[in-house]
Chains A and B, each alone.
Chain A
Amino acid sequence: MTEHQQFLAERDKIDFFIQKGFRIQSVNEHLDGATVEFVHPNGDVTEVLLISNANARKYFSSLLIKQNPIGK
């Protein structure tokens, strides 16, 4: 799988939860990339993704800024 295909695959997983109304609840960065925790607004469902691709990590970060424009 090329880097770009890996990006598309991880972006699709992120978009899947975002389109269902999930929001990013927490981000834990580590040696293998970032573990991103999503939570549904009703608060009773959480999902976790391991995002390792660099462009995908930029992608969820941009969504997080869009979601909570801290520091802007």
Chain B
Amino acid sequence: MADLRINLAGIKSPNPFWLASAPPTNSGYQVQRAFEAGWGGAVWKTLGDPILNTSSRFAAISFNGQRVAGFNNIELITDRPLDVNLKEIYETKKKFPNHAIVASLMVEPKQEKWHEIVKRVEDVGVDGLELNFGCPHGMAERGMGSASGQVPALVEKQTLWVKEVAKTPVIVKLTPNITDITATAEAACNGGADAISMINTINSLMGVDLDTWNTIPHVAGKGAHGGYCGPAVKPIALNMVAECARHSQINVPISGIGGISNWRDAVEFMLMGATGVQICTAAMHHGFRIVEDMIEGLNHYLDGKGIAAVSDIIGKSVPKYSDWGNLDLNYNIVAKINTDVCINCNKCYIACEDTSHQCIEMLSDASGKNYLRVWEEDCVGCNLCAIVCPVDGAIEMIEVPNEMPPMTWNERQAVINAVITSKVDTTK
């Protein structure tokens, strides 16, 4: 059994699976049940001035039979008084001293407001704080959440105010509703953040009812944008984690969030630089006990690879992530159709002929049986045929040796620019 413990900026937990700040961490009852199920940590549903919620709060997209491919909510932060939450945090920490309890916080961007809540929350023994600069709906209209998180100067200033009084590690949770998340991540670091977490939810409108013309969800016939999460956002979140992980000025641990639904997703986030992960939608879809599969799967994966501790995989894929300009233009792959496995559905042929590079041909053998063939010389290795193929193993993408040495766009432009500006010495 591998060692699954993590230490995120001094916050220790028995495994990397934390519940994210959201409905599953609304109360002591829920967090204690989650810990009993095996979750290593929980970020308590955001504390602040208790709010008022609407009825009808969630919506989900099911896609081709997959329920909850994407999930949306218009629920705000806690609607319970702070002292009620603090009492339950204290009791939960007492029962589960080795599990991580992090308090998510959101107040108006005023120094005294931050000082007050930090002191009150730390008094009950939380292991850390997470500043919610990401919630995109409702609270943002009041200048909090993503309204703060979209302005690097506000992120830095509020982080500084928290750090003036905080005794526990401070995680800054970032909004994805911004062009370049590294700008706000860097601002958090400049403010003294001990760690960053990402992503919060993405601005979304889930749909419009074709009969009533109401938004989905709607509240008495009116809708407002919500926050999108779930499996559909994972690639967006993973990129943002990776961009921060490889950024030279962002040197704090990362807590990865966004569509993580199983141990495989968790491993991907950790390979791309996350020290641990936070999960919400998968727990809301399947219940707390999904963490059992996550722990078991992660253990098997690490044992199978001979890795003693999960912390050993953190960031191992980060050096493999770069800018497009550093990719090798002379690297070639082509599609190879395995005619023994192919069912001749022609999906690949149609995809290639209509929307790609017209390099798959339908032929007939001597017995009149149809088969598909790739013209490798014209195949650009786009992967589309393999993506649309419904049969595993029917199409492989294989590497083709190139007689030319590796050449990136950046290298190419450097030499061409040198030629343009100074003319290459032709006598060499």
Contacts and interface: CB of A to CB of B under 8 A. Distances in A.
A65 B378 CA distance: 25
A68 B414 contact: no
Contacts of A62: 330, 404-405, 407
B411 A71 contact: yes
A35 B407 CA distance: 20
A26 B405 CA distance: 21
A28 to B, nearest CB: 8
A58 B405 CA distance: 11
Nearest to A71: B414
A38 to B, nearest CB: 9
B427 A41 contact: yes
B407 A65 contact: yes
Interface string A27-41: 111000000000101
Interface in B384-428: 404-405, 407, 410-412, 414-416, 418-420, 423-428
A70 B427 contact: no
B419 A58 contact: no
A64 B378 contact: no
A34 to B, nearest CB: 8
A61 B330 CA distance: 10
Given A2-B378, A65-B415, A27 B420 contact: yes
B354 interface: no
A66 B418 CA distance: 14
A64 B415 contact: yes
A43 B405 CA distance: 28
Given A24-B419, A25-B419, A65 B427 contact: no
Contacts of A69: 415
Contacts of A68: 415, 418-419, 424-425, 428
Which of B330, B410, B419: most chain A Cβ within 10 A?
B419
Given A3-B357, A4-B377, A62-B407, 14 more contacts: A26-B423, A26-B424, A29-B416, A58-B329, A58-B404, A61-B329, A61-B415, A64-B412, A65-B412, A67-B428, A70-B414, A70-B418, A71-B418, A72-B411
